Amino acid sequence: MRTKILLAVIVTLLGLTLQAQNSNEKIKEGNDLYHANKFDEAEVAFRRALSEEGKNQALGNFNLGDALYKQKRYAEALEAYEKSLSFAESKEEQAEALHNIGNTHLQEKKLEEAIEAYKKSLTLNPKDEETRYNLSQAIRQKQKQEQQQEQNKDQDKDDDKKDDQKKDQDQKDQKKDQDKKDDQKKDDENKEDQDQKEQQKEQDKKEDDKQDPNKSPSQGKDKISRENAERLLQALNRDEEKLQQKLLQQKIKAKPIKSAKDW
């Protein structure tokens, strides 16, 4: 990519004023400084030329724009090129100004503006291959920028989706933790209720013992089952029968035997 600079063409015309001649000399001086890479000094020379001569506004502003462009003062350079375009009379000068306007926009990453300027320049000068090349580069960068924006957009969607998933998982984890805390709380409450019941039961037992000091220690114990009770009763009955038989036998043995009557 190149920045074009128009060299002043000094012509001698009848009636050319001394002021115009001085202006052309300042432009030539600025061109020499520009080619010596003394862009700040070239800028001063071009500004002097513009202040002295009104007929070379297109040329002076164009070359001033180049000096500013080389100093990376793109906003000021753009202003100078636009002034040059407004004063340019020929299509060639207009095409040159539009070319450098496109370059300036490209440096500032204003791709749409750069593409538009290059297209206008080619309309005025279709044979300018450098402008055509710069246009293709600007279009390529624009396509790359759009692809990057699309990728960033997709990435943002993925990030949003991941954030939503993480948020949902965090909510599930929080609910799980809360449920666990609630369950633990219920368990603690149930245990506390059970302990209170046990304490109350123990207290009631103590109160009963105080009220009935003759209460058998066996009282209060769990009742035996019906089957065990029947077995126990049967055993007692058998023991009773054995005892009765034993007593009966003893009674028979103890009965005195009658002796013969002594007549």
Share of the chain above pLDDT 90, in %: 44
Nearest to residue 99, comparing CAs of 128, 73, 76?
A: 128
Q: Does the pLDDT at position 214 exceed 50?
A: yes
Written as one string, the DSSP assignment of 188-253 is HHHHHHHHHHHHHHHHHHHHHHHH-TT--TTTTSPPPPHHHHHHHHHHHHHHHHHHHHHHHHHHHH
| Distance from C-alpha of 49 to C-alpha of 45, rounded to nearest angstrom | 6
Please name the CATH architecture into which domain 18-146 falls.
Alpha Horseshoe (1.25)
> What residue spans define the domains of the chain?
18-146
pLDDT in tens, 113-144: 999 999 999 999 999 999 999 999 999 999 99
Q: What tens digit of pLDDT does each residue of 75-104 get?
A: 999 999 999 999 999 999 999 999 999 999
Query: Is the distance from CB of 87 to CB of 57 less than 8 angstroms?
Result: yes
What is the identity of the amino acid at 78? L
The predicted structure's pLDDT at residue 109: 94
Residue 249 scores a pLDDT above 80: no
> At 17, is the pLDDT very low, low, confident or very high (cuts 50, 70, 90)?
very low
Percent of the chain's residues with pLDDT above 70 = 78
Largest CA distance in the chain: 214
Of the two residues 155 and 222, the one the predictor is more confident about is 155
